Chain A
């Protein structure tokens, strides 16, 4: 595939992703806006893929080595922190919990 064709594909995907994003996110109730922020935060942690590619390059200079290492550290903090925080938040949302009436039949 020529370089330009690839670029056109990428732009196509980008534009479709915008519409998909708007479509999916407009269905999220305001109740869950904080977990939405936190969840999307975790999702952009996918930047770790890019960071790993940089640090994994063969024959890299010391500069790339240091920058790549820092990028992987930051991105992993983003991934793990993002998903854990979101999980903790969502765990708390309960529709009703009535432990006071255990004898309900």
Chain B
């Protein structure tokens, strides 16, 4: 296939990718968009297949069957609640592929006399560097989300120094390669240092900051792929990679803004280390906690006009989304107006709660974003907080000493009554006290979220 023809066909692929993203602006035809994108991908693979047309076609076919088979089985089998780790995993393998391509390309263009042009080596080294960080970082994110390792921040003395040294080492090797030191092992060092950096850089980041990290790693992989396009002089890689890079960057910034923290603070702040002063301020005014039984709460809910559910990561952990939906249906059948208030960083990835509730067949018009939900709380009878903590913590508004001060929150305390479903009085991931629990308007319903909701369903039926 000629260079021009293949590039024209790649252009069609690019258009399908743009359409796929464009269709995502509306949930009604988002799925069709994804299918169009998939068709474009198939086209790109077929074009490349014909273009390469080498004797190694069987090797390519076997590799595609192995990888594709794994991808298909993993993606089909995974439970919807395990989506964040799947997204992290598939993101990581993409970055890994980009790094491997860079390695193979350098091997091809080195040693002299095939002395490569600087623009090719720039693509190679940066693609290897960023792809490797994305690969190992995503794998750590996967392990954290899958709970293979603890979700709490892991910190040690000199962490920033070690990370900095690794990164500078990787960058230094990369720069010397571009500058013309044509030794292959420099790229190996770059890759190994980047892999180590990726691991160490994600390890100290706490579970609740995962939405930012996952978005950032997504951007990294996109960038690595785009740079791969430079080394192979291939437009479809450049454009598709950069679309992903732009998307990931935008999401990263949005998530950080939703927490009112800078990206740097999320990445390097090791947020779990709460200053003792702030904790003391919060603990100082501890009032009494009112605990209620499921029967009490059921009566409250059944006689309310408007109930808003506020889901958090605890909902995902307890896998209580179907039970919540059942409770909501029951309340609706009793004439109660039900909606869901979704905080942008609730959960472990951007929009996590929306997918979770969609899985339970909650109609998406009932899912309200923060800006839409907040004015509604003042005319809400009962706000039910299910497994959310920091995103409803009034300290973010009032307590300047609090580590989350300034983060926009869902103002559930504007509602007539707040019901908090919680396992125990243990503070959330960051050990931050939540004065909401001591608010006279608040009642606590202790226990596993799933069991509590099941009890509520039974009790509301008898009211």
> Interface residues, chain A, CB within 8 Å of chain B?
3, 6-7, 10, 13-14, 17-18, 20-22, 24-58, 60-61, 63-65, 67-97
Contacts and interface: CB of A to CB of B under 8 A. Distances in A.
Can you list the 10 inter-chain pairs with the closest CB atoms, starting with the nearest?
A21-B246, A76-B67, A33-B351, A56-B52, A81-B71, A80-B71, A72-B63, A84-B75, A33-B350, A17-B242
Nearest to B240: A46
Interface in B123-163: none
Given A41-B87, A70-B63, 5 more contacts: A6-B233, A50-B237, A74-B97, A77-B71, A92-B355
Interface in B324-375: 342, 344, 349-352, 354-355, 358-359, 361, 363-365, 367, 369
A42 B41 contact: yes
B37 interface: yes
B318 interface: no
A79 B63 CA distance: 13
15 contacts: A13-B238, A17-B226, A20-B239, A33-B354, A34-B87, A37-B351, A40-B218, A46-B17, A47-B225, A55-B56, A56-B48, A58-B55, A84-B75, A88-B75, A95-B365
Nearest to A19: B246
A88 to B, nearest CB: 7
Contact of B31 (A58, A79, A87, A96): A87
Nearest to A85: B75
B87 A85 contact: yes
B67 A74 contact: yes
A31 to B, nearest CB: 5
Nearest to B230: A10
Interface residues of B, number: 113
B97 A47 contact: yes
Contact of B251 (A14, A37, A45): A37
Given A31-B27, A47-B94, A80-B72, A37 B214 contact: yes
B264 interface: no
Nearest to A46: B240
Contacts of A82: 71, 75, 90, 94
Nearest to B101: A50
Given A25-B250, A46-B41, A50-B234, A86 B34 contact: yes
Given A7-B119, A13-B235, A80-B72, A53 B350 contact: no
Contact of B57 (A56, A68, A88): A56
A83 B38 contact: yes
Contacts of B425: none
A94 B364 contact: yes
Interface stretch (B103-111, B380-388, B455-463): B103-111
Contact of B354 (A22, A31, A81, A86): A31
A71 B101 CA distance: 7
Nearest to A86: B34
Contact of A41 (B70, B94, B233, B246): B94
A74 B229 CA distance: 17
B174 interface: no
Given A10-B235, A18-B246, A90-B34, A33 B97 contact: no
B363 A75 contact: no
B432 to A, nearest CB: 24
Contacts of A96: 363, 365
B14 to A, nearest CB: 9
Interface stretch (B76-84, B282-290, B307-315): B76-84
Interface string B24-45: 1101101101110110010011
Most chain B CB neighbours (cut-off 10 Å) among A41, A60, A85:
A41
